[in-house]
Structure 1
Amino acid sequence: MADTPKITAYEHYDMPSSLRPGTQRRDWMDDTREKFAYRCLPLTIANSHGWEVIGDTTFRAVWNGKPEPSGVQFDIKTQGQIMPSSHFGDGIITFTMPYLFRTDENIGLWVSGAPNQVKHGIQPLTGLVETDWSPMNFTMNWKITQPHVPVAFKAGEPVCFFFPLDRTLVDRIEPVIRPLSDNPELAAKNAEWSKSRANFLKQIKVEGSAESQMGWQKDYHKGRFPPEADKATNHYSKIKAKAFKRPE
């Protein structure tokens, strides 16, 4: 049996753990009508597909639009150990990670902001870090999108999100384009689903119909189509990353 893949987070200094598995919940998804955003399984899977680094500093920042690092001014409300800085300039806020991560050979970490986490006035920058060999720290960076508009972070919210990725995969994959008609079985299933979807969208508007009582189609969520088909053996309706643990 192959060895279990591992990620090790080496601490630079003693601190309360700021690592946690990603969560499905998002405030804006909670606020959607009848929480309909949670019906999109790809969204909720992505939200929890990795780990978060939780910030412990509450602050506001404003960028004056100039390229120098001094162009970002910080108003620190409560100070923690993961502090923001303006290192690169151009309205970029930098968080130095308190961990040095190590992964298995050819496995890197995809590093960005928490998926589908919307923040006003600022955008997470994304990187793929070669954590299988590098002894160097990486930083998490966010780009302020508009000068003179304050942005804010609160202690307890994620400042970074990461998940492992085989960094050789893109080089090895052979991308191909073919007409759907080349796969008659798949084309027939797609046509059947399209017809079913169009009928569902029509009938859901009819008061008292079975579709209106159902509220939404659950074919993808259940991992099968048509509804009476067997469930796909490789379907995930939820994912739960394990928590980082200290050795006993």
Structure 2
Amino acid sequence: MNYLSEAVVWLNDPLNWTNPGGLLDRLSEHLQISFWAVLLGCLIGWPVGIWLGHRGRGGSAVITLANLTLALPTLAMLTILPLTPLGFGKPPVVVALAVFAVPPLLSNAYTGLRSVDPEVKDAAKGMGLSGSQVLFRVELPLAVPYLAAGLRTAAVQVVATTTLATFVNGGGLGEIISAGFGLGISVGGNQIVAGGLFVVLLALVVEGLLALVQRLVTPRALRAAKRRRPTAAAPAG
């Protein structure tokens, strides 16, 4: 059986979209979970990364924290967190995915603040700006492209990983795939492939939209400087 062609047929059936528990319902759940997870990750990762980058300290701590967080298996966290007072459902999924979203948000925020030219900051201080004014008027505007890049990476990762929410009754598009497995490969194979394709397409759409946002928030001068920057030559030998 050609599961890919059968998956396309399954996706073209309006009832698979509009029925209770269909693609539209699951897509809404998927986007809600992803939104709250990324938002929680931003509330944790951005302030810490910005503060450390502004102070110019804690680079090794940022790298260590990011590596430790990435080393945590998301599926294991989804299995453990429901045993806490969070219980089953969406709350443990949001927390687990937020932990997964923090590393790119934190590291990009730190890198963005540290990438600001020290001479620019010295000039701002020479004009009488306080430390907080330098942060909000100079460093943060110049670091916006890095913040957008971290948001883009975190959002795509979370959207793709939210599929695992089905293992703890968290909803999302993973329920479509799980239901297909429940029917058996011979019967539900088309639904499994359709669910997987839909998740891939959703991740690509999020990637494209946030790539556009990243480009729009990057000042033209920075984009021009990036295009003019020479490519490093490969080492000889």
On whether the aligned pair clears a TM of 0.5, the verdict is no
| TM superposition score category, shorter chain reference | under 0.3
Q: Which has the higher strand share?
A: 1
Higher relative contact order (CA 8 A, sep 6+): 2
Normalising by structure 2, report the TM-score: 0.19
Normalising by structure 1, report the TM-score: 0.19
Q: Which has the higher helix share?
A: 2
